[in-house]
Amino acid sequence: MNDKFYEQKKEKQDMMINGAMKIFALKGYAHASVDDMVKECGASKGLWFHYFESKKGLYSFVVSYAVKYAILEYGIKLEDKGMGLYDLLLEKEKVKVDLMGMYPYLPLLILSILNETDEEALSLMSDARESYIEALENIYVGIDRSEFEEPEDSFLIQKMITSTFADIMRDYYHKPVFLKEEYISECEKYIQMLKKFLGKK
Amino acid sequence: MNDKFYEQKKEKQDMMINGAMKIFALKGYAHASVDDMVKECGASKGLWFHYFESKKGLYSFVVSYAVKYAILEYGIKLEDKGMGLYDLLLEKEKVKVDLMGMYPYLPLLILSILNETDEEALSLMSDARESYIEALENIYVGIDRSEFEEPEDSFLIQKMITSTFADIMRDYYHKPVFLKEEYISECEKYIQMLKKFLGKK
Amino acid sequence: MNDKFYEQKKEKQDMMINGAMKIFALKGYAHASVDDMVKECGASKGLWFHYFESKKGLYSFVVSYAVKYAILEYGIKLEDKGMGLYDLLLEKEKVKVDLMGMYPYLPLLILSILNETDEEALSLMSDARESYIEALENIYVGIDRSEFEEPEDSFLIQKMITSTFADIMRDYYHKPVFLKEEYISECEKYIQMLKKFLGKK
Amino acid sequence: MNDKFYEQKKEKQDMMINGAMKIFALKGYAHASVDDMVKECGASKGLWFHYFESKKGLYSFVVSYAVKYAILEYGIKLEDKGMGLYDLLLEKEKVKVDLMGMYPYLPLLILSILNETDEEALSLMSDARESYIEALENIYVGIDRSEFEEPEDSFLIQKMITSTFADIMRDYYHKPVFLKEEYISECEKYIQMLKKFLGKK
DNA sequence: TATGAATGAGCCTTCATTCAT
DNA sequence: CATGAATGAAGGCTCATTCAT
């Protein structure tokens, strides 16, 4: 269905993908307008529909693209089984920051996916959303939780870290420039604090 | 400006407030439509404008109302200075659940306020938003952090709990019915786990 | 149909009539709103409809009232047959200025009637409009045109004076206060100039 | 701001301009509806906003266009300085009638501009209105008033002619078809009459 | 392939009109 | 009589979508 799109130059593809990601990530599905994307990255209105048929199709595509790309990177950089919970969650944030090199708004888009409440948007991306969650679970399965006396505790902490980092990342996106290194330091503060109390790994 | 509205029967007032809270909380300012509110609670389109002049005015009013009401309840139920961090944050969730008795979507609306990115919405509620944040800070000032060797740690933990509870609450709102007791139990799990490791109070 | 209305105190009647005249005269039929009239003179929205059934009915009534009142005054003050064209047209303006004492916007309303283009408005007041025009013609019939060699000329001049005074009056209404004496002086300038050249009477 | 519009075919431009002129001229700014224009000339509702952003923008544009066009024609056809008052004012009406060839409602629109009382409309066209009035003054400066013993008289007469012709023109527009030649004859009657009495030129 | 003119459904808002009190 | 709450149709405007070029 999006074959035509892939026949273009990679550069132009990425320009359009980044435009769409930015607008969708910042405004959410319903409030994002195709005109915004035209302004953001030049490609004409007709072209978006030529490649993606509809706003729905575009959203499906971009979300699915973002998820696939993120899963791929996670796969490459987080696969060394046997990492501890803390190191892995921190590493995961570093991967996200790396992703921003190519697709600056990809991590924010993924956060917005997980928080999206618009029913239409949810139905359009249900597959991508689930496959992202599943991929994360697969990664989490490999975590070495032996440091924790009660395994259940580690899951609660995992959830807390995830929620907290998501919140912080959203804040960083609201600043004029996303300060990558500062963001990672901030995450590290939490990890170090937790390590001090709750398991060393 | 909303004098007319307050002259109506309390029941009807609350019906409209709840309708507006629900739609704004679920869809956000920009994507909430007055038509949705008409469907939600019967009051005709014209009536919303009769009372609130504009969608902007309605949003301002509802947000401000929600914030005032929440601050009031916090004031009444969280004022015993000297509570520990954990007990206070848990108690705060209980207050929110109590608020749902009268205004089911009030807590979700407050979460949405804190996450809102639409610039128009932000400008409409800047006062309310700030007064809410300030009120929370005043409550947090009274927390007894003596259990924590490093006070800084307690602030990181506080942030983590807040982010986590917000996430969980959003999930509970996505279910067909908000299971209040289950929600509180879930929050307690986190608190108990943390108490085990990080201070007893 | 407007019996009910006439059963009120004269004062209140005139307050409402003046409110309606002002709004209709200033904004024209289509753009005048009943809310404007409420603001202008206090009588509640429901009351207008109680007395006049509809905006159409109100317009019909007010226009008809204005026309009747004006014709009455013209009848009283311009009836001395045998006046010359110039004196009569000037006297007519003086009558209008007198009318403002009781109904400040009556003369402007009459001008607006004669210029109205809105089809609905035209159909609502066709009778009043015609009876006004007819009444004027009856007055003009009594004019002594013996000063004019060619009677046709006097009709052209009459039309010119009428158009000119109407224009000037509109200008005066646009000022913060209608300066009555100044208005009459301005009219006199034209009359005197014309007398100099075109007949003495 | 209206670049897009000018890139269309001249024919289509003129069709839309004429539609807008007609509706604005007949109904005035406030009561003119874009729907009326849709009915009048086919272009869809969205298209008007595609080109003009808002009803305000459309009004500004059309008024400004009309004024510029009229001033241009006046410049071409009335520039022979040294014309007498009468000939010039008559010539001016002929220019207006010529303008109707391309833009049938342009002269009526200009009359409506000069009579408009709606505050919003006034603010939207203040520049155009003033530039029109100024252009007329520049033309009037060239008038040869030597026939008049008292120059002041000539200004009064000028005002009278202007008011009268405006009135007559409005009447002609209210007929099913604007009878151009008849209109000019009517104007000439006044001019001839005046010449007979008040200066020959 | 690429553009943007063109369309119409949907949303915010106004306002004449009705009706319960 | 008097009030103003309540309603819905109509108008301004946005935006996804189509289509001629």
Residues of A in contact with B197 (CB under 8 A): 197-198
Q: What is the residue-averaged pLDDT of chain A? A: 92
Burial (CB count within 10 angstroms: exposed 0-12, middle 13-18, buried 19+), residue A51? buried
Query: What's the mean pLDDT in D3-30?
Result: 91
Please choose, from the candidates A86, A98, A91, A88, the residue with its C-alpha nearest in 3D space to the C-alpha of residue A190.
A86
What is the percentage of chain C residues whose pLDDT exceeds 90?
Answer: 72
Contact C189 D153 (CB under 8 A): no
Residues of chain B with pLDDT under 50: 200-201
Asked if C50 reaches chain D (Cβ–Cβ under 8 Å), the answer is no
Domain B3-198 coded CATH 1.10.357.10 = yes
Which contacts qualify for A50-59: CB closer than 8 Å, 24 or more apart?
A50/A4, A51/A2, A51/A4, A51/A5, A51/A16, A52/A2, A52/A5, A53/A1, A56/A120, A56/A124, A57/A1, A57/A2, A58/A20, A58/A34, A59/A24, A59/A29, A59/A32, A59/A121, A59/A124, A59/A125
Q: What is the model's pLDDT at position A59?
A: 95
What does the pLDDT read at residue A79?
77
The whole-model pTM stands at 0.89
- pLDDT exceeds 70 at position D171: yes
Phi, psi of D7 (to 5 degrees): -85, -10
- The pLDDT value recorded for residue A199 is 61
Q: Which amino acid residue lies closest to nucleotide E6, measuring CA to C1'?
A: D47
Taking 80 as the threshold, does the pLDDT of residue D81 lie above it? no
The DSSP letter of residue B168 is: H
* Residue A146 DSSP code: T
D191 inside 8 A of chain C by CB: no
Distance C54 CA to E16 C1' (A): 8
Query: Both tokens of residue C190?
Result: 């034209």
User: Does residue D27 sit at the C interface (CB-CB below 8 Å)?
Assistant: yes
C1' of F6 to CA of D67 (Å): 46
pLDDT of residue B1: 65
Q: List, in sequence order, the alpha helices (H) in B103-179.
A: 106-115, 119-141, 151-174
Which bases of chain E are contacted by protein, using any atom under 7 A from a CB? 1-20
In chain D, % of residues over pLDDT 90: 77
Q: How confident is the model at residue C199 (pLDDT cuts 50, 70, 90)?
A: low
Integer Cα distance of A46 and A37 in angstroms:
12
Tell me if there are at least 3 CB pairs under 8 Å linking chains B and A: yes
Touching chains, D (3+ CB pairs < 8 A): C
pLDDT of residue B70: 97
Check if the beta carbon of residue D65 is closer than 8 Å to that of residue D127. Answer: no
Q: How far apart are CA C32 and CA C23, in angstroms?
A: 6
Q: Which residues of chain A have pLDDT under 70?
A: 1, 81, 199-201
Structure tokens, B108: 């979700």
> What is residue D71's predicted lDDT score, i.e. its pLDDT?
96
C122 vs D: CB within 8 A: no
Instruction: Please tell me which residue, C130 or A201, carries the higher pLDDT value.
Output: C130
How confident is the prediction for chain B on average, in pLDDT?
92
Q: Given this model, what pLDDT does residue D1 score?
A: 65
Residues of B in contact with A190 (CB under 8 A): 156, 160
CA closest to C151 among chain D residues = D193
Per-residue pLDDT at D36 exceeds 70 = yes
**Contact predicate C63/C45, CB 8 Å:** no
Nearest residue to A199 via CA among A136, A138, A156, A135: A156
Return the higher-pLDDT residue of C116 and D94. D94
C2 touches strand F (CB under 7 A): no
Element (H, E) at B186: helix B180-197
Question: Which of D111, D117, D149, D192 best tests the C interface by mutation, with the highest count of C CBs <10 A?
Answer: D117
Count of beta carbons in the 10 Å neighbourhood of residue C142: 13
**D144, two tokens:** 């040869």
Whether D and C touch, i.e. at least 3 CB pairs below 8 A, reads as: yes
The dihedrals phi and psi of C162, each to the nearest 5 degrees, come to -60, -50
Quote the pLDDT of residue C201. Answer: 41
Checking if the pLDDT of D201 tops 50, the result is: no
In chain B, which residue's Cα lies nearest the Cα of A171? B115
Return the closest-CA partner of residue B17 out of B83, B70, B65, B77: B65
Per-residue confidence (pLDDT) for residue B201, from 0 to 100: 41
The predicted pLDDT at position A201 comes to 41
Q: Residue range D168-181: average pLDDT?
A: 95
Mean pLDDT check: name the lowest of A116-125, C121-130, D27-36, D121-130.
Answer: A116-125
What ranges in chain A are assigned the alpha helix state H?
3-6, 10-31, 34-41, 45-52, 55-78, 85-102, 106-115, 119-141, 151-174, 180-197
pLDDT over 70 at C55, yes or no: yes
Specify the pLDDT at position B199.
Answer: 62
